[in-house]
Structure 1
């Protein structure tokens, strides 16, 4: 995945999936209920199955590139739907965008939390 500068998902949880990230380019701050970690190129991050609240943010001035795997399969549909929405979202009001993003995440079994939940 490509994560624009300053971007990344709000804290969220998904009890039925294990998610892993390998940082290919950039510097990304990962936060979870267990703490925080700045992952640089070559870093590996594991979010275990069970619903741990987590999120991340690109700290660099360039898009960060992450290799993300999710097991079992199925969450890729969320990423595809989110990418399609974001490509056309520029004309939407911020409140409409937030509502649509929440609806997409909930559709795929994700639990969302406020941006400052892990601060």
Structure 2
């Protein structure tokens, strides 16, 4: 068997804006979703929320992430990670006013990537960054969040 035959087929990535964040979804054959999140300086992430069934992990590639986990705030820098078990209230923001935040994000079990596909706007679309955070997209987020195991904690 040649080494090329042993490698899995590489699936194409897809990049969309969701709530002002640039998210690249990396398809996987495992029971998890893998994404890279790029958050502009000073921008908040999603509001405090929890997942009934999803576990979520973040690995900071560059920048400074400030996380809210239950009632504690904590920062993570490049090379550091945070693991969030199901039913744990959490949120994040870019703690830097000048540097973008880049993180890898893993959701398990698989399924959250469908939310990004449904709610996001392809990065190639004009004004996708602004349009992804407009009122209509936020209404769509609120209307479909529970279908994707996202429950707001506010």
Equivalence for 1:36: 73
1:38, 1:92 → 2: CA distance? 25
Q: Deviations over 1:50-93 (max 9, x none)?
A: x1110000111232111100111111111233322892763986
Q: For structure 2, list consecutive stretches of 5 or more residues without a partner in the other structure.
A: 1-36
Q: How far is the alpha carbon of 1:100 from its aligned partner?
A: 1.8
1:1-119 correspondence to structure 2 within 5 Å: 1-5=37-41, 6-33=43-70, 35-49=72-86, 51-60=87-96, 61-84=98-121, 87=128, 90=131, 94=135, 96-114=136-154
Q: TM-score, normalised by structure 2?
A: 0.63
- The structure in which a higher percent of residues are helix is 1
Secondary structure of 2:57's aligned partner:
strand
Q: Deviations over 1:4-35 (max 9, x none)?
A: 22231110110101100000011010001151
Q: Are residues 16 and 93 of structure 1, via their aligned partners in 2, closer, same or farther at CA, if it must alter by over 3 Å?
A: closer
Give runs of ≥4 in structure 1 deviating > 4 Å. none
Q: Are residues 29 and 18 of structure 1, via their aligned partners in 2, closer, same or farther at CA, if it must alter by over 3 Å?
A: same
Q: TM-score, normalised by structure 1?
A: 0.80
RMSD of aligned alpha carbons: 2.4
1:93, 1:68 → 2: CA distance? 24
Q: Are residues 88 and 46 of structure 1, via their aligned partners in 2, closer, same or farther at CA, if it must alter by over 3 Å?
A: closer
User: How many residues get paired?
Assistant: 112
Q: For structure 1, list consecutive stretches of 5 or more residues without a partner in the other structure.
A: 115-119
Higher RCO by CA contacts (8 Å cutoff, separation 6 or greater): 1
Assess if the C-alpha contact under 8 Å between 1:78 and 1:108 holds in 2: yes
Q: Which entry has the higher C-alpha Rg, 1 or 2?
A: 2
